Structure formats: structure tokens, C-alpha cells
A and B are shown apart, each in its own frame.
Chain A
């Protein structure tokens, strides 16, 4: 009997194909991790950060068994395509005006159906983008305020064991989120995660991490992988069968 039709190599080749111009879709890709960009309020990703969503997929496929789709299309909040898949990234640097009622409606539908959104402030030092996003989240889901995720949240052990969020900048030690029920559906990052994943034309890291070092970059990539795994598995790693085992491993790894 031949091997399964979609191998890791095939997936990586697919990503490579996507990176070089054309999507290479196959059976199973409809459920693959697909980092789409929300084209509203912010501005299109330019420069090396435009490569970040694809590289996020690349790292996920390289490091895990999860399938990925390396294309990163832009979807508008008021178009039906937003509802085609349950994941979208909302990234930006600047303050933006209020969203239109149809955009609010579209995002509300996306979230109430169970979609997940990562908000990445690409200039967290200024924080103006995230302030605008928070304002709009208040309009989209007024009954669900932004809260802090607890340090024991599954996001920190959905694949790698991590102790805090991190991106191009170290940023705050916790994540703010909008939760509906048990699920954190909107993650508000002030760490420029896409900046840490951006690649140059020479296929090297494009932007230096602050304060710096290989360790920070690797932890940022791992954090991105954990977010993807949380998206694909929800709170799987909080199941009882995993929880006791992970508790023991964390205890052993502490000095």
C-alpha cells in the first residue's frame, strides 16, 4: 500500500509553490491552517512583514503534523469570504476610523460562529492600532469585554511549553483576549509577532528582535506555533489525560 497522499514533504512543497506564486491545493487543505489577513482598519502588510503569514505556516508544517496553506489572502470584513474559514489576522500600526455597520456585522458573525482572530500590533511601542481595535471590539461584541488570559492558559502549552507571549519585541508578559465561553476568540498581541516571523529576500530573518538574540526569535516562532495549535485543537492540551502529565514535566524543567 502506498503512503498517504499528503506527506509532510508534499505540504512543504505546496508551501514552496505558494511562496513562488501559485497555490497548490489538495484534499485536506480546506481544514489546514490558513493565515488570512483582515483588510479593514489597518493597512496592507508591506515590506518583509508581508512574508510573515506564509512563514508562520511554513514553521507550523515543518515543526508539527498540522497541515497548512501558505497563501495569505486579504479578506474584507463585509464580504462572505470572511466566513469561508475560521481564522483571520488583523494587523496594523495606525489608528483608524470607526468601521462601517456592515463591517461590524461581518466581524460579529465571524466571531459568533466561532471564528478566531489574532490582533497583532506591529508598532506596540505606540499602541495606537490596538487602541482602535479595542474600540471596535467594544462595538462588535459589546457584551464580551477584553480580559487578561491567565498564565496557565492552554495557549502556553498547546505544543511548546512557554511561560509568556513574545514577538519581535518582548512586550507585556500576558495576553489580553476576548473570550466567549471557554474559548479565547480574539487574541490581542502587543508583541509584533508578524515582525518576528518576517523573512527577507535572502531568506533570512528580516527584522531584528528587541532586545535580541536567537532565543527570543525561537520563542516567538514557538509562540506562533502554539497559537496555530490552539486554533486547530482548541483546549485539547487541557484535557485531563494531558494536564497531569504536563504538570509533572513543567515541575521537572523548573530549577
Chain B
């Protein structure tokens, strides 16, 4: 009897260990499934993605022509700028904007329609699930718009948007920019718990990002006082640093760019978690 127990004990312990490990991994599997779901959902919207790619190319082509028509000889900067380099910058920055698009809507729609309550009762926190799904969709768009960026770049300027020695930093900086903007949008979406309709809030945040992040017009063309204000916001980390990392139109070293983006990513992440927790409390009490 004793012998039987001593042989069964390690087996039970092994099984229990396996169950514990499986339970510990379960949330990760759920999040991975949510990521795949986001990826799949996004990949189904063929016509929409096609139109988005055409619009992306149209805007970049228009601004390329504007830069070609602009007299850049009088610009006094510590680094050289040309119509081609400014187009490269725009391609990279627009890549972020088009990839993330209007992600706040998914969260805002769920809250406004009340469907969020079915997600709040799940063991995985709603913000984690929502973030994983959004990142899945963003990852798909990153590939699609990335292809369009390369095509557009060859069409407009005849080479890749990033300088060869900067491609790695561009490919690290770009997803970081996307993640910051996604989290800001998630916060805007969660604000629907208080405001109801958050679309006007998004419009302002988006346009602030265009102006303070330096979308069409890189930040170094803005007056000094404006740049000082801009660097206090996360928007340059979303757009300007992505474009600058690719084209080298900055005095910052690669590690400084990375450090600024990571700092903002952490700040925005914590703000997003706080916003979601507050929104959840408000929804549950309502």
C-alpha cells in the first residue's frame, strides 16, 4: 500500500504541476487567440484595405509634389533636407497613421452598445483582451501598409523610405510609435464610459497628433516655442521620431529615440490601464 502511494505521489505531483502550468499559460493562450482573431478580422476587409492603400499613396504623392514645388534652399538646419528625404519622412509617419486608423471605435462601440458587459465578466481583464485583438489587427495592417509604403517609395523617390543603415531602427521605431498611438486611442475609446460619444474627442486628439507630432510638416519646420510644447506630449514619439529614425533628419542618436519612445510607451500604458479600470468601475456601478 505504502509502495503504491509512493509511486502515485510523484505522478500526481507531475499532473498537478502540468495543470498549474497550463492554468498559468491559459491567459497567454487566450490573448494569443485574441491576437489571431484581430489579425483574421482585419484580413477579411479586402476592399477597405485596398481603398486605404490607394488613399495612402494619393496623400504621399500629393505631398511629394508639394515638396518638389517648395523652395528648400533657404532652410537652415543642422542636417540636410530634400524633397525626397521629406517624402521618405512622410511615408514613414503616414504608415503609422494608416496602420492604426480609428481603433478607438471598437472600444467605444462596445461601451455605447452595452456589449462590453459580456466581456467584463470574463477571467481575462477586458483591456488585455481588447489590446490583444487590436494589436492583431494592427499587425496585419502593418504588413499591408508596409508593402504599400515600399511600393510608394519606389514609385515616388526610387528607393526605400529608410536609409539602408537605418532600416533596423526604422522597423523597431515604427511598431513602438503604433503601440503608443493604439494605447492613446484605447484611452479615448474607454472615455465613452463618461462621455458617450467620443468621436469629437478623437478628432481633436488626431489633429493634435498631426500638428504636434509633425505629420505632413516635420517638427523641425515649426517655430521653437511650438516644438517645446510638442516635446511635452507623446505625439512626437508616435510620428516625428519614426520618420526621423528612418531618414536621419534628427540630432538624436538611435538609442535616444528608442529611450524616448519606450518612456512614452510605459507612461501611456499605465494611463490606459488606469482609464480602463476607472471606466470598468463606472460601468459596473451604472
Whether both chains belong to one complex is answered with: no
Which residues of B pack against A, CB within 8 Å?
Answer: none
Which residues of A pack against B, CB within 8 Å?
Answer: none
